Structure formats: C-alpha cells, structure tokens
Amino acid sequence: MKKVVKILIYIAVTLVVLVVPFVLSLIQKQICFHHSLSFWSAYTSYCSVIIMAYLSFAIYTYNKRKDVEKEKMEKILERPIIVFNKTKSTEYYWIKNIGKGAALNITVKSHLREDKIWVIAHKCYSLGCNEELEMTWTVNCNAIGTQYFDVFHNEYCSYMDNDEIRIFNPKIEEEKKLYSQEYKKIMLSAKETKWFTK
C-alpha cells in the first residue's frame, strides 16, 4: 500500500511540474509567436531536466533499497542457524548449525506438556558451522524449542512442532510479533535441565 501511495505522489508531482507552465502559457494571450517559440524551447529543456531528475531519484532509491536488502541477506547468512534433522535410521533428532556463525550458549527444550512445562532441557556451550549433535532423548517428541546467541550476543530462536521449523530473531519487532507464540513457548520453564557434550 505504501508503494502505491509513493507512486501516486510521484505521478502527481510530475504532472504538476509539467502542466503548470503550460497552463500559464495559455493564460498569457498577449505573447507573440516569436516569444512563444522561445518559451516552448525553454519549456522542453525544463521538462527534460525534471524528467532526468525524476529518473535519477528513482534509480537512486532502487539502488539504496537493493543495498539494504543485500546487507540484510549478508547478516542472515553470517549468523548461526539452528535446525533439527531426523534420519531414517534413527527415531530421534539431531541438532545442527547450518549458519556460518557460531551458535553459543544453546538451550534445547523438548517434549512440551499440556500444563505448559517442558519435560527436559539440555544446554550446550557452542556449535560451529555445520557441527551437529544427536539428541537421543527426542524420541516421540512433540516439540523442540531452542534459544541461542551469536558472538555479538544477539539472540536467536528455533522452534519446531509437527515437523515444521521456524527460525527467528526475537529482538526484531516484526519477527517477534510474527512468532510471539513460539517465543513464549520457548521461554517456558523445564522440569529438568542437563548438559550434553559433543
């Protein structure tokens, strides 16, 4: 909706800039033919400048938006990304970091009960790029929630139920709003907490 409004504003401004001089020229009925030719020559040059300025602004806006999106994508690729996998030969899940950045201070919670308490939580110091650990306790698991951090202390979360995973940054307002229910579940307490090693 915002893009449509911006486009309409650009069109309106362009029409005003191009039409107003033309209207003013019609009002001036006393000008001679020679002056009229001079006016149209100047008017054409004026319109060319306006059009070029408009196109330059549009290109600048596009490139700026593209740079912002590229920077955002680079940040996503550099951050840790925790996922859960299950192989055909096992009944339990593996936890794996598929991001380029290291995941630190990881807390993995599994088996969410109806009274909103996790059966068990496991802590892990870190997982580097492409490192994985088996989670043998996740057999017949109905949900898995994970909270972890990068080297800059940015918080991330991964949540899975019904074999569908959601990965988000709860500090980004848009993502926090979109995954508010998942984040609340991840923050629920666990009945028991253990450490697991590589």
Spatial distance between the Cα atoms of 96 and 83, rounded to a whole number of angstroms? 5
Convert the pLDDT of each residue in 47-99 to its tens digit. 676 777 777 777 777 777 777 776 766 666 678 999 999 887 888 999 999 99
Residue 83's DSSP bridge partners are: 96
When mean pLDDT is compared across 7-21, 101-115, 127-141, 177-191, the lowest value belongs to 7-21
Token pair listed for 164: 């569908």
73, 157, 166, 181 from 170: Cα distances, Å? 17, 7, 12, 11
Please tell me the pTM assigned to this model.
Answer: 0.65
Contact partners, residue 141, CB within 8 Å, separation at least 6: 92, 93, 110, 111
| Structure confidence at residue 178 (pLDDT) | 95
| Structure confidence at residue 8 (pLDDT) | 52
Spatial distance between the Cα atoms of 102 and 79, rounded to a whole number of angstroms? 7
Find where tokens 């090693």 sit: 197
Q: In this structure, are residues 147 and 118 in contact, taking their beta carbons and an 8 Å threshold? A: no
| Structure confidence at residue 146 (pLDDT) | 97
Q: What single-letter DSSP state applies at residue 20?
A: H
Average pLDDT of the residues in 168-175: 92
**Predicted confidence band at 9 (pLDDT cuts at 50, 70, 90)?**
low
Q: How many CA atoms lie within 13 A of 124 on its CB side?
A: 26
| Structure confidence at residue 96 (pLDDT) | 96
Convert the pLDDT of each residue in 128-171 to its tens digit. 999 999 999 999 999 999 999 999 999 999 999 998 999 999 99
Dihedral over Cα of 177, 182, 184, 187: its sign: negative
| Structure confidence at residue 18 (pLDDT) | 58
DSSP string covering 122-188, please? Answer: EEEEEE-TT-EEEEGGGTT-SEEEEEEE-TT--EEEEEEETTEEEEE-TTSHHHHHHTHHHHHHHTS
Checking if the pLDDT of 6 tops 70, the result is: no
| Structure confidence at residue 67 (pLDDT) | 72
Closest alpha carbon to 137 in 105, 110, 164: 110
Contact partners, residue 102, CB within 8 Å, separation at least 6: 80, 126, 127, 128, 129, 150, 151
53, 92, 170 from 74: Cα distances, Å? 31, 32, 19
Spatial distance between the Cα atoms of 94 and 85, rounded to a whole number of angstroms? 5
Checking if the pLDDT of 16 tops 70, the result is: no
